[in-house]
Structure 1
Amino acid sequence: MMSAMVMGPAMPNSVSSRATNRVPGRVSRPATAPERTATAGHLRLTARGRAVLWILAAVAVALVTLIGSQASADGPVAAQEVVRRVVQPGETLWQIAESVAAPSQDVRDVVVDLVRLNELPEAGLMAGQVIVVPAS
Structure 2
Amino acid sequence: MSAMVMGPAVSERASFRVNPASGSATPAARPSAPSAAHLRLTARGRAVLWILAAVAVALVTLIASQASADGPVAAQEVVRHVVQPGETLWQIAESVAAPSQDVRDVVVDLVRLNELPEAGLMAGQVIVVPAS
Give the TM-score normalised by structure 1. 0.68
Percent of pairs identical after alignment? 81
Question: Whose helix proportion is higher, 1 or 2?
Answer: 1
Structure 1: give runs of 5+ residues left out of the alignment.
21-29
Q: Distance in 2 between matches of 1:112 and 1:68?
A: 35
Question: Whose strand proportion is higher, 1 or 2?
Answer: 2
Q: Distance in 2 between matches of 1:129 and 1:104?
A: 28
| Aligned equivalent of 1:45 | 40
Which of 82, 95, 99 aligns to 1:103? It is: 99
Superposed, 1:1-136 pairs within 5 Å as 1=1, 3=3, 5-9=9-13, 17=29, 37=35, 42-47=37-42, 48-136=44-132
Instruction: Output the aligned Cα RMSD.
Output: 2.9
Q: Distance in 2 between matches of 1:58 and 1:84?
A: 57
Distance 1:106 1:46, change over 3 A: same
Distance 1:45 1:119, change over 3 A: farther
Structure 2: give runs of 5+ residues left out of the alignment.
16-27
Alignment length (residue pairs): 115
CA offsets per residue over residues 69-89 of structure 1, 9 Å max, x none? 222322222211101111112
Give the TM-score normalised by structure 2. 0.70
